[in-house]
Each structure stands twice: as C-alpha cells, then as structure tokens.
Amino acid sequence: MPTCPALLIAAPASGQGKTTVTAALARLHTRQGRRVTVFKCGPDFLDPQIHAFASGRPCQNLDLGMCGEADARWRLAQAAADSDLILIEGVMGLFDGQPSAADIAERFAIPVMALIDAGKMAQTFGAVAHGLASYRAGLPFAGVLANRVGSPRHAAMLKDSLSPGMGWFGALPKSDDSLPERHLGLLQAAEIDDLGQRLDKLADALAASASIDLPAPVEFPEADAPAIPPLLAGRTVAIAHDAAYGFIYPANLDTLRRLGAKLAFFSPIAGDALPVCDAVWLPGGYPELHAPAIGGNAWLWAQLRTHVEAGKPLLAECGGMMSLFGEVVDKTGVAHRFGGLVPGRSVMQKRLAALGTQFVDLPEGALSGHTFHYSKSESPLAPLARARTADGREGEAIYRLNRLTASYVHIFFPSNPAAIAALLGRHFENTEE
C-alpha cells in the first residue's frame, strides 16, 4: 500500500487565500527538491494551472460528484507512489457543498490544515479554529495557519487563542502579492508574467513563519487506473489551446491519449490554421476577451465549416460554443462577429449565470461535467438534449448540427471514455467495427 505525506488545505469560506497558500507550499517544498503533486477539489480550471506551475507537475481535479470516488482513489494512489508530498486545495468553505472538501478529507483520511484570514480578528481566531475542528466528529483535523497577519505580536495573539492541542502551522503576513483575478477567477498561469517571483516571495514568507517539515504519511490503498481500450487509435484530435481556450482538465488530455488519439494543439488567437485532423475540440475560456484576433481568423472558421460539413466531429464547450455563434456581446456591450457555424448569439452578463455539476445523456452515452459562465446564449436551434443538475433540475441545452456538439457543459472525459471515443471518433454506431 503506497504511503505519502499529505495535507488538505481548507478554509471557513472562499477568499481566504487557499490557492495562494497551497501554491506557496508547493513551491516551498519543490525548492527543497521534493516531488510535490497538487490536487484541486472541485471542477476548477484556473487554480490547477497555478499549482502545476508551482510544483512543476500536473495538477488533477478531485470531485466526488463529477469525477466519482473511484477516479479520485486511483489518482491519489498513483500520486502517492510517485510523490514526496501530496497537497490538496479545498473548495469554498471546508463543509460547503455536497460533497465537500471535508468529505474528501474524511473519505481518504487526509489531514486538514485550515487557513483562516486573521486580518480583522484576534481571539475569535481560536473560536473559528475550534468550530472547524469540532463541527464533524471523525474529521482528521491537523491544525490552522493564519493568513494576512499584521505583526509578530498579532501572530502570537492568534496562536495563544487556540484550544489546547490544536496544531499551529504558522502565520503569513499581509501582502500585496495576492494572485490577480478576473470574473471567472484567477488569471491563467501563462497570463501572470511574474508568477514565479510572486510564488517565491510567498514561499519565503512561509519558510520564515512555518515549519518546512513534511506532514505525517497517509496510506493510500492501491487502485488500478481503469482500463481504456484504444478506441481512437489512428485518429488525430485538434485542440484549441491558448489564452482564449484554456479551460482544459488535465484528465481529459490523459483520457484522449489513453484512448489512443494523437493530439494536435493550435491557437486561434495566433492565427493558426486548423491542423490536419479527424476531430476538433474547442474548450472553454475567454473568447470574448480576444474577439478581434479570433473573429478575424477567417481561414480557421472556413476550415471548421468545411470540417463540419464533411461530417467530422467537433466538440465545443462553453467559450468554445460561444465562439461558434455568429455574435458575442462583451461586458461593455460591444458586439463581435465570430464563427457563425451555429445560429444564435451570446451576451456577457454582470453576474454569474450558471454554476454547478451537470449530467448529460447523449446518444453516445452518459457523461458528467460542470458549468460555470457569465454569459447567456440564445439560438433558434432546437436542443438535442438538456443536461440535468445533481438535484434533478433542468440544466444546459446541448446543440447538435451534423457531428458538431455544443453546450455550456465542460465534460469530464474520464466519466465515460467510450462515449468520448464515440463523440470524437467515427459515427458512434460504428465504434465497434
């Protein structure tokens, strides 16, 4: 049974600094020569990019609702056999959501370090820590780390407020080095020019305040990766990948490779033509922020139109779907022309339009995924199907034109690799030929 030191970084709420501290911890231990594998609770695209940069290793998602326990179990076992430290960033507050970060910690016996923003509190810090530690019996709670601390005296006051036996992981001072954000969360790692310097500075602050010793080892029962037949062997999948199309689960790329597909990446922003391919995937991202470059790439849109008219598969998710519409209206109210492969348009909103796990039943099979967007879209095209939420409510529309499939849902490919092979391979009725 593989064992590896592991820690789940949680907080009482969002906005406490979980991503920053997790990335700083990863950077700190990586600088010590340790192999650090970071996971992110929940279906997040942006935080894993930061963690992959900090650790120099891919960051996978753990989400019991979207990914399932079996998927999480074998990924953790694989990481334990290949790492000196596993760090897991929680999502929202420690107990928020069903399932929550606490559910993952309890299910896999991973110690929890609670990060608490102490910038505007003193002895109440101890009460919050006590509540997190005692709210659920059986939770493997390891201790707390104080964030945004004003002074050494403030840090000492916080530490003294803790209940006897409560673990103290240290204190981080107030800093202007918080990672920059936009409406969907943090900037993508490639967009932060000084990311390495920021992480090094944060790692230095952690080293000055907290122990750099490894947490206690955790046993991860052996679990084999699911067997995936090479249903896409000999097929090339072209994948848009740049600042406009960056919302890609690493597990999705792994699944395509294990299906036997050859991956060919291209950048619509850079003016790339469509690679020679059998199928195309347009992931989500920020096409509205790069409208002139993408909308002006007329040759690419002509190639994609020819691709679809030839009956070849194209999967477009969220921002990928938006860019297939004829028009996208950005947050300033300016309308931009886009691909025009699907009738309709998208309009950016000031508030979040949809968020949460969704499940999709397609002719190719059942798939799970996630939706998170600030735009609203309308199309005269009748949906092929509608996704459903975890509690059974009607979810996102799924559109289909020939072999083009488009929706707001970011599909988690490991949820049904055979369905993905059917979606991106030869016609699904012929996948067993």
Retrieve residue 106's tokens.
């309890």
SS3 113: strand
Residue 316 carries which side chain, given as an amino acid letter?
A: A
Residue 365 reports pLDDT greater than 60: yes
Same fold yes or no, 3-219 and 236-430: yes
Which helix (DSSP H) or strand (DSSP E) does residue 2 occupy? none
Q: Which residues have CB under 8 Å from 272's CB, separation 6+?
A: 266, 297, 300
Retrieve residue 362's tokens.
């397609």
C-alpha distances out from residue 195 to 77, 119, 199, 227, Å: 30, 24, 6, 37
Contact 392, 399 (CB under 8 A): no
Between 198 and 164, the higher pLDDT residue: 164
pLDDT of residue 210: 72
CA 228, chain centre distance (Å): 23
pLDDT of residue 178: 64
Q: What is the pLDDT of residues 209-247, one digit of tens each?
A: 776 778 889 999 888 889 999 999 999 999 999 999 999
CA 320, chain centre distance (Å): 16
Give CATH for domain 236-430: 3.40.50.880
Strands 262-266 and 314-317: unpaired
Catalytic-role residue among 41, 59, 67, 318: 318
CA 168, chain centre distance (Å): 29
Retrieve residue 117's tokens.
């923003």
Beta carbons within 10 angstroms of residue 112's beta carbon:
25
Retrieve residue 208's tokens.
């000055």
Residue-averaged pLDDT of the chain: 90
Q: What is the pLDDT of residues 373-394, one digit of tens each?
A: 788 888 999 999 999 998 889 9
pLDDT of residue 286: 87
pLDDT of residue 59: 95
Between 115 and 176, the higher pLDDT residue: 115
> Mean pLDDT throughout 151-169?
94
pLDDT of residue 429: 47
Burial of 224: CB neighbours in 10 Å, binned 0-12, 13-18, 19+:
exposed
Retrieve residue 178's tokens.
């918080």
Length of the chain: 433
**CATH architecture, range 3-219:** 3-Layer(aba) Sandwich (3.40)
Which residue ranges make up each domain of the chain? Answer: 3-219, 236-430
- Pairwise CA distance, residues 206 & 24, whole Å: 7
Q: What percent of the chain has pLDDT over 90?
A: 69
Residue 189 reports pLDDT greater than 90: no
> Of 1, 91, 79, nearest to 44 (Cα)?
91
pLDDT of residue 252: 97
Q: CA 191, 96, 175, 203 torsion: positive or negative?
A: negative
Between 115 and 44, the higher pLDDT residue: 115
Between 58-62, 312-316, 346-350, the lowest mean confidence (pLDDT) is in 346-350
Retrieve residue 300's tokens.
């690419």
pLDDT of residue 79: 96
Residue 421 reports pLDDT greater than 60: yes
Active site residue 67: no
Burial of 340: CB neighbours in 10 Å, binned 0-12, 13-18, 19+:
middle
